[in-house]
Amino acid sequence: MKGIIYILLLLVFAFSDAGAGVIGTPHDVNVMRHGNKRLETCAMCHTPHSRPLESPPLWNRNQPSQGYTMYESPSYDMDEAKTLQPPSTYCMTCHNGVSSTLVNYPGRGSNFTDPAYNINNGDPLFSDFTRLGLDLKNNHPVSFTYEPADDVDNNGFPAPQPLGSGERKAIIGSQGKYPLYGTNGDQFECATCHDVHDTVDYPGKEITNGESSGTQVFFLRADNSGSKMCTDCHTNR
């Protein structure tokens, strides 16, 4: 019994840490829905129960598989991605602009639904540059194997370094660490540059106060003033 209580406490603190970064940002459903403070921030993406078997732990969003058109270019030296891979697929659950619902709506049992948590086709929450659609050709490439040795254009891509134990690696730059993903720890994904929980704090960053819709938060892992994040990878540019 003591062991069960200990595990539950760990889960509570884990969710508290994750939510501490996202609350008050555009990824907070209460900010999305015009300051409605009754909605559960974490439930917009996560559930402690009933997640889809093919989804990552605690993922709470439903959406049929989508076919994406991936980035390609004659000057692109690394292996071109054929399909979108996790965790980028989880970002696109909302950012592709296709309708998406929750697996498990909070608070009322399995038969309860709340449209406030749904993303609808054409939803104004995801408009302009945040609604990427299914054609990703005009976006920075993702879901490719990061292999600096394949670069023949002298971009100066740094070699990835081990990130903790196991297979995980990261690109180490002057602004911090940019993690790679996949089974071999070498896949460049959306989360390489973006932290969806927005836990990074740096000078000059605009943070919404939960009420204003005029500020923008880009969920970057580091300060990109003067393109410093970009040149952490493209060191010769």
- 144 or 163, greater pLDDT: 144
Distances (CA, A) of 52 to 23, 63, 102, 103, 161: 25, 10, 10, 7, 33
Per-residue confidence (pLDDT) for residue 210, from 0 to 100: 46
Q: Of 61-70, 83-92, 166-175, where does mean pLDDT reach its minimum?
A: 61-70
Per-residue confidence (pLDDT) for residue 18, from 0 to 100: 40
Q: Are 188 and 168 in contact (CB under 8 A)?
A: no
Q: What's the pTM value of the predicted model, to 2 decimals?
A: 0.81
Q: Name the 3-class secondary structure at 59.
A: strand
Question: Is it the case that residue 10 has pLDDT exceeding 70?
Answer: no
Question: Is it the case that residue 3 has pLDDT exceeding 70?
Answer: no
Q: Are 158 and 171 in contact (CB under 8 A)?
A: yes
Q: Name the 3-class secondary structure at 84.
A: coil
Q: Are 61 and 94 in contact (CB under 8 A)?
A: yes
Residue type, 141: P
Banded model confidence at residue 187, pLDDT cuts 50, 70, 90: very high
- 230 or 109, greater pLDDT: 230
Phi, psi dihedrals of residue 162, rounded to the nearest 5°: -60, 140
Per-residue confidence (pLDDT) for residue 100, from 0 to 100: 87
Per-residue confidence (pLDDT) for residue 199, from 0 to 100: 58
Q: Look up residue 205 and give its two tokens.
A: 């960053």
**Over pLDDT 90: what percentage of the chain?**
26
